[in-house]
């Protein structure tokens, strides 16, 4: 568990007077540490999971016609 000090809390002394506020700060620091540990333990995402994503967008579009339309846009500019 992290040591709670005034520097960790980054709050004015008047605000950090009650045990309730300090215990809440300790809880939040613990949650933060747990979240960081969980992210580090997660396996990296695989690019192969993206295969086929969005294929429905291109369902009725012919590749050559699409490329030709892009070239027409370039020439028009």
Question: Per-domain residue ranges for the chain?
Answer: 6-41, 51-76
Q: Work out the percent of the chain whose per-residue pLDDT is above 90.
A: 13
- The larger pLDDT score, comparing residue 47 to residue 44, is at 47
pLDDT of residue 67: 92
**2 φ, ψ to 5°?**
-75, 145
What pLDDT, on the 0 to 100 scale, is given for residue 16? 53
The per-residue pLDDT for 10 is 62
Q: What are the pLDDT digits (tens) for 9-32?
A: 665 555 555 667 677 777 877 777
Give CA separation, 42 vs 10, 12, 32, 34, in Å: 30, 36, 16, 12
């Amino acid at each position: 568990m992290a040591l709670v000090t005034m520097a960790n809390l980054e709050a004015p002394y008047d605000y950090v007077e009650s045990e309730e506020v300090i215990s809440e700060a300790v809880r939040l620091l613990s949650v933060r540490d747990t979240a960081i540990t969980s992210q580090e333990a997660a396996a990296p995402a695989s690019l192969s999971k993206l295969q086929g994503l969005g294929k429905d967008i291109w369902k009725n579009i012919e590749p050559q016609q699409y490329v030709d339309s892009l070239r027409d846009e370039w020439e028009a500019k």
